[in-house]
Structure 1
Amino acid sequence: MKPKMLMCSPEYFGVEYVINPWMENQIHHIDRPQAHRQWEAFHRALSQQAEVFVLDPKPDMPDMVFTANAGLLVDGTFVLSRFKHPERQVEEPHFRDWFQHYAGDVAQLPDSIAFEGEGDALPQPGQDWIWAGYGFRTDLAAHRFIEQKVRRPVISLHLINPRFYHLDTCFCPLPDDRAMYYPDAFDADSLRCIESRIAPENRLLVSEEDAGHFACNTARVHDTLFMNHTSPALRRQLEVWGYRVALCPVDEFMKAGGANKCLTLVLDAADRPHTLHSAADQVSTSC
């Protein structure tokens, strides 16, 4: 069965304001035709392995294309985002309406608590816990709210590098109790927390170069990782672990602070047991 994912078409995508470091000096600098080509190529590749729902965009909401930030869907309960910045708060009613139709059960945080969806909340595949970031765009209080609503433990990780303002920009949980992450995005306590749950042989620490290309901002469907960019060394390690790397460049979207994971939201998690391929079975995939 194909997993289900949500995207939003990029008709109104652009950098119209600055709410993260990636947006600085990028206002009105998006190559819109190129952004459309990149989005279409990614959507086409993703649709081969997942059932992709496409949300209609709204005018004057240039970041709505980053559907990962809409909220978090776990076991039929959708926790709607409360965006930190007013520029994105206008998106909330549109995401709420779509998920009321799709999931029915929509939980809404108090207005005083910020939470930015899968941008800062990532379930560990095959486990019952959820990794959750805080420090820039999500409040720590949101983690307790999520625990109560979806009845899963939430593991809080403190983000300290403003360039990695969402958890999904610097951390990618993987099946078989593995994780790929950029250590310099976290404080010491958070690193110890990760290390307490992920064994040394299951940790893949990405370099500053790979992190800067949002290697951790990966959209996964079973054993395929849809990535904006990867160094040869990182790709080799992922292939040793049994993953197919599908390079789908989305550098126009990186000007707004997002890559492949930011452009998708998981509707039906692809974390059921499956067989990874050996490195000898790898098939090179690209967009």
Structure 2
Amino acid sequence: MSLSETAVDRAPSSGRIQQHRRYLMCKPAYFTVSYEINPWMHKADPTDTPKAVRQWQTLYDTYLSLGHDVEVIDPIEGLPDMVYTANGGFIIDGKALGVRFSVGERRGEEQPFMDWFGSHGFEVVEPIATQEGEGDILLAGDTILAGYGFRSSIESHREIADVFDREVVSLHLVNPNFYHLDTAIAVLDPVVGPGGVEAANIAYLPNAFDDRGRGILEERFPDAIRVADEDGAVFGLNSASDGRNVFISPRATGYDAQLRERGYNPVHIDLSELLLGGGGIKCCTLELRGGRS
């Protein structure tokens, strides 16, 4: 979908209401696959950094074309995964919880993200337990959904609840291809809409979770979109939403149809080059809630 096609489809004719978003992104100027820390990364496969930058730029430009604000953190040479800003923290009401990565290759990113939050008006909380930001922590209505099993510890969930004073629902990830929660769940509805906080709609990949996790999701989100394995395998669920427009991989055709049936507007963004590092649209998109614009 072109930018012009995207930009003209802002009216809430379906009843879905577009909400303003403020995001943090990082240009993949130093993107490459120089190590292997997830099943998607293979050092033997060549990467094309200029292509990654072009694809990232399309996502950036699309957000702006739809009226969203995008902040940018400077990339740092030697930290190729900084492009995946969702892993840089978790922010609600101007309070930013930093991250503590489980893998040594990414620990150099921790302080630069916390420094950025502090210099942009956020109250920064340095974490104690291992967790990887919005990669494994998602805000759904008033509730925080938190993943564990591969990259974030379940011990971090108590810390998250204490920092933000919200209910935290723990979900066990069991499929190594979906090692972060944001590869297996997408929050579709706005967190806050007209009249106050709304109950969130989500989409999720059932096979990414254990039986208990599936039961929790079925009980709490009975109307959720259940996404097929083939759409999950192209990182279809690693998507961002403003409540009306849902930014997804063009290869997630089944998910596209499901979204349209529910009145959402799928916006296709190809980040195939960045998928070589195990990241997609949501990985490149950290939501900034509060702070200084």
TM-score range, shorter chain: 0.7 to 0.9
Instruction: Give distance in 2, aligned partners of 1:177 and 1:57.
Output: 33
- Sequence identity percentage: 39
Q: Which residue of 2 aligns with 1:223?
A: 244
What is the CA–CA distance in structure 1 between the aligned matches of 2:255 and 2:85, rounded to whole Å? 26
Shift of 1:251: 0.6
Q: How does 1:9-88 map to 2 (within 5 A)?
A: 9-23=27-41, 25-27=42-44, 29-49=46-66, 50-88=68-106
Bigger shift: residues 129-138 or 229-238: 229-238
Assess if the C-alpha contact under 8 Å between 1:179 and 1:198 holds in 2. yes
How far does residue 104 in structure 1 lie from its aligned partner after superposition?
3.2
2:142 equivalent to 1:105: no
Say whether the 8 Å CA contact 1:214–1:229 is kept in structure 2: no
CA separation of 1:154/1:171 partners in 2, compared to 1, >3 Å: closer, same or farther? same
Secondary structure of the structure 2 residue equivalent to 1:52:
strand
For residues 120-161 of structure 1, the C-alpha deviation after alignment (integer angstroms, 9 at most, x for no partner) is: 00000xx21110000000000111101000111110000001
Please name the residue that 1:207 is paired with: 228
Aligned-partner residue type, residue 21 of structure 2: P
Gap regions ≥5 residues in structure 2: 1-18, 190-198
TM normalised by structure 1 equals 0.88
Aligned equivalents of 2:116 and 2:44: distance in 1? 29
One-letter amino acid matched to 1:181: Y
Show the 5 A alignment for 1:72-151: 72-110=90-128, 113-124=129-140, 127-151=141-165
Q: Which consecutive segments of 4 or more residues in structure 1 shift more than 3 A? A: 230-233
**Other-structure match for 2:213:** 190
Structure 1 unaligned segments of length 5 or more: list them: 270-287
CA separation in 2, counterparts of 1:220 and 1:182? 17
CA shift, 1:2, in A, is 3.2
Deviation at 1:62, TM superposition (A): 0.2
Q: CA deviation at 1:28?
A: 6.0
Q: Give, in whole Å, the separation in 2 of the partners of 1:28 and 1:108.
A: 36
Aligned length: 262
Counterparts in 2 of 1:28 and 1:240: CA distance versus 1, 3 Å:
closer
The question of whether the paired residues in 2 share the 8 Å contact of 1:17 and 1:27 is answered with: no
Aligned partner (choices 24, 35, 40) of residue 6 of structure 1: 24
Q: After superposition, what is the alpha-carbon deviation per residue over 1:51-106, rounded to whole angstroms, capped at 9, x for unaligned? A: 00111000100000000000100111111010111110001110010001123311
2:95, 2:124 within 8 Å by CA — same for their partners in 1?
yes
Moved more, 219-228 or 8-17: 219-228
- Kindly provide the amino acid, as one letter, of the partner of residue 173 in structure 2: L
Q: CA deviation at 1:31?
A: 1.3
**CA distance, structure 2, for counterparts of residue 10 and residue 27 of structure 1:** 19
Give, in angstroms, the shift of residue 203 of structure 1: 1.7
Distance in 2 (CA, whole Å) between partners of 1:27 and 1:156 is: 36
Structure 1 residue aligned with 2:278, among 257, 277, 282? 257
CA distance in 1 between counterparts of 2:115 and 2:64 reads 24
Distance 2:121 2:188 in 1: 25
Specify the code of the residue in structure 1 equivalent to 2:134: E
| Equivalent AA in structure 2 for residue 237 of structure 1 | Q
Equivalent-residue separation in structure 1 for 2:177 and 2:169 (angstroms)? 21
- Give, in angstroms, the shift of residue 268 of structure 1: 2.9
Q: State the Cα distance separating 1:14 from its structure 2 match.
A: 1.0
SS at match of 2:236: coil
Q: Which amino acid aligns with 1:196?
A: E
Normalising by structure 2, what TM-score? 0.86
Residue 163 of structure 1 corresponds to 177
